[in-house]
Amino acid sequence: MSNLFSLEGRTALVTGAGRGIGQAIAIAFAEAGADLVLVGSSPMEETEKRIAELGRTSTSYLVDLLDVPNITQSFQKIVSENTIDIVLNNAGIIRREPAIEHTLENWQSVIDINLSAVFIVSQQVAKQMLERGSGKIINIASLLSFQGGITVPGYAASKHGVAGITKAFANEWANKGVQINAIAPGYISTANTAALREDEARSTAILERIPAGRWGQVSDLVGAAVFLASTASDYVNGHVLVVDGGWMSR
Ligand SMILES: NC(=O)c1ccc[n+]([C@@H]2O[C@H](COP(=O)([O-])OP(=O)(O)OC[C@H]3O[C@@H](n4cnc5c(N)ncnc54)[C@H](O)[C@@H]3O)[C@@H](O)[C@H]2O)c1
């Protein structure tokens, strides 16, 4: 049974692997036996160190995923230098600003990294995966793949889009051995949600709605990620797996 979830012999690429959810899942992939390709806009020494301590290897690439015109070229190089079995499209940003005054700059940068980069990275790695007839792509979606949120219209649009392209790609790739799915994390304690936790009223309102009675930790997401990266999920396609302490059930 444990072989179903083993990632031994696989290489997993994680974007935004320097901290938060991406770091936790990169380390979990290494614990499950994978070697890593780490992609981030700044050095990721802590993640590299933790992976090495687990006896696995990692190769890091500095890529600014906000620089959309250059992502294709960067990933052509990464794919030419590595055989990628698993991809976690995790890097993302959020811009909080009321809808009526939400700037086009904030809207565009969130759409660029959260959605356009996921589209391009998936396309580039899938070329190699489709040729080989196997591969796993996992996108980090959000509760705002289903809901509108408050003061984050660009983020909600981008994460609805992530759910959409997850399904769209799955429809074309499921019969070619490539599974693409998404994880929709609930409210997880990371830099992404620091502003919410600092706002006492929002923080209390959020906590009251979580049936599990607590915010999530990055460790709450790693089981779902290893499942979607492993052969255990070979017949799971185009699914958005909510890991939210029950938030969406309310
Ligand atoms: N924390 C939550 O509650 C929550 C909930 C749902 C979805 N998410 C999503 O999870 C993902 C990870 O977020 P997190 O919570 O770990 O927050 P985080 O801010 O700690 O992590 C974001 C990661 O993206 C990377 N990144 C940012 N800009 C980049 C750029 N221009 N180029 C390359 N990499 C860049 C950062 O370096 C960082 O590693 C995001 O897609 C976020 O939208 C988070």
By three-state DSSP, how is residue 65 classified?
Answer: coil
At residue 84, the pLDDT reads 98
CB 6 within 8 A of CB 230: yes
Amino acid, res. 241 = L
> Rounded to two decimals, what is the model's pTM?
0.98
At residue 110, the pLDDT reads 98
Mean of the pLDDT values across residues 96-123? 98
Where residue 8 falls among pLDDT bands split at 50, 70, 90?
A: very high
Mean pLDDT of the chain: 97
At residue 13, the pLDDT reads 99
pLDDT tens digit sequence for 133-175: 999 999 999 999 999 999 999 999 999 999 999 999 999 999 9
**Ligand 1: which residue has its CA nearest to atom 42?**
92
Q: What is the DSSP letter of 113?
A: I
Q: Which tokens is 134 given?
A: 């196997």
Q: Which tokens is 246 given?
A: 């029950």
CB 191 within 8 A of CB 217: no
Q: Could you tell me the distance, in angstroms and rounded to a whole number, from the CA of residue 221 to the centre of ligand 1?
A: 14
Element housing 242 (H / E)? strand 240-243
Ligand 1, residue 66: give the atom nearest the CA. Answer: 31
CA angle in degrees (0–180, nearest 5) for 62-67-69: 115
Instruction: Map out the domains of the chain with their CATH numbers.
Output: 2-242 (3.40.50.720)
Q: Which tokens is 238 given?
A: 């185009």
Q: Could you tell me the distance, in angstroms and rounded to a whole number, from the CA of residue 92 to the centre of ligand 1?
A: 4
